[in-house]
Amino acid sequence: MHFSQDYWTDGRTAFWLASACYPQTYRGTGCTLSSAIAVGLAQEYSLPDAIVLAKMTVNQGMRLAREAADPTKLLRYAGWPEAEADLPMLGQCPFTYGAPRFSSCDNVPLGLYPIVDSLARLELLLPLGIKTIQLRIKHSTTLARDIQQAIVTAREHGVNLFINDHWPLAIRYGAYGIHLGQFDLDHADIAAIRDAGLRLGISTHSYAELARAHALKPSYIAYGPIFETHSKSMPFAPQGVEQLKRWRKTINYPLVAIGGIDQVRLPDVLTAQPDGIAVISAIANAKDPVTSTQALLHIISQNTGSR
């Protein structure tokens, strides 16, 4: 596949954007790009986000272009760009090929997706009927042993376990998947994770980060924070359910909602039809984590007809 590529830098940071080439000549792409960047900035998007949105707008215009009197085509627009077909890939180097997709999650609904910080908490929740869980241990003197045991125990319960960050150990012990944040992507060996057959989930908070994840073709994309959260320091404002609905329209990847989701907010989040609901504090800070997990599962079942 041939790519149309754009390069941006402010002298300190830089990135490349790549989209599939259209074979025709088009009129108005430069004007559209600059105007759309200005509109994005006026709407208080960051400059990288405004550039990605502008590129999506140009791609939409070319995809829907109409014939002109001469051999060129005139761009045609259909409102806010929301099609994954128009989403560029973002990376630190020029793109010479498109990455192969990571393995899917075996058509198993992600459903309620607890994120726990210890082996003990993971073992407490595994028998409750969840389909997916993530182990996020930041500091432990028994890290390798805990991850190995978590992988064995999750497999015994038929639960898909994603390991946060520690990809070498996830590969070594044969985890189901690995979850990475944007910072972690800078240091992880993505090719090694793919070659090992692991699934990959990626956290995103903005259009630029979505374009970066799109370049890697992960198994799922997590988006948030949907609501204010205190589980970790976040440089991003709460995105809200309406923006989650917009992302649901845009991407065909399995979509996981995360950030500040509890029993009260869960029904509203489910109206956006995410594939997974990642929960941290509503379980970790609950007086009874088991009862809280069961209540969340019940709400999902009542609102979607399944867990």
- Mean pLDDT score, 25-47: 91
What does the pLDDT look like over 113-158, one tens digit per residue? 999 999 999 999 999 999 999 999 988 899 999 999 999 999 999 9
- For CA atoms 224, 229, 231, 233, give the dihedral sign: positive
Q: Position of tokens 């399995």?
A: 254
**Distance from C-alpha of 220 to C-alpha of 255, rounded to nearest angstrom:** 6
C-alpha gyration radius of the chain: 21
- Mean pLDDT score, 157-184: 97
Residues in a beta bridge with 265: none
pLDDT at 19: 94
- Mean pLDDT score, 225-253: 86
Pick the range with the lowest mean pLDDT from 73-87, 140-154, 262-276: 73-87
Number of Cβ within 10 Å of residue 78's Cβ equals: 11
- The CA-atom distances, in angstroms, between 212 and each of 92, 142, 157, 185 are 9, 33, 34, 10
For the chain, the average pLDDT equals 92
**Distance from C-alpha of 54 to C-alpha of 68, rounded to nearest angstrom:** 23
- pLDDT of residue 187 exceeding 80, the answer is yes
What does the pLDDT look like over 201-219, one tens digit per residue? 999 999 999 999 999 999 9
pLDDT at 73: 80
Alpha helices in the chain (DSSP H): 29-42, 47-63, 119-125, 143-156, 167-172, 182-185, 190-195, 207-216, 240-250, 266-270, 281-284, 289-304
Angle subtended at Cα 285 by Cα 144 and Cα 177, rounded to the nearest 5 degrees? 35
Dihedral Cα 298, 115, 90, 86, nearest 10 deg: 0
- Mean pLDDT score, 186-211: 96
**Distance from C-alpha of 82 to C-alpha of 263, rounded to nearest angstrom:** 29
Q: Does residue 260 contact residue 237 with C-beta atoms inside 8 Å? A: no
pLDDT > 90: percent of the chain: 78
- pLDDT of residue 307 exceeding 50, the answer is no
Supply the pTM of this predicted model: 0.93
Q: Does residue 277 contact residue 296 with C-beta atoms inside 8 Å? A: yes
**Distance from C-alpha of 201 to C-alpha of 220, rounded to nearest angstrom:** 5
**Distance from C-alpha of 226 to C-alpha of 230, rounded to nearest angstrom:** 12
Strand order across the beta sheet in which 3-9 lies: 3-9, 14-20, 89-91
Q: Position of tokens 């649901």?
A: 248
The more confidently predicted of residues 96 and 120 is: 120
pLDDT at 231: 62
pLDDT at 129: 94
- pLDDT of residue 51 exceeding 90, the answer is yes
What domains, with CATH codes, occur in the chain? 3-91 (no CATH), 111-304 (3.20.20.70)
**DSSP classification of residue 28:** S
Confidence of residue 1 (pLDDT cuts 50, 70, 90): low
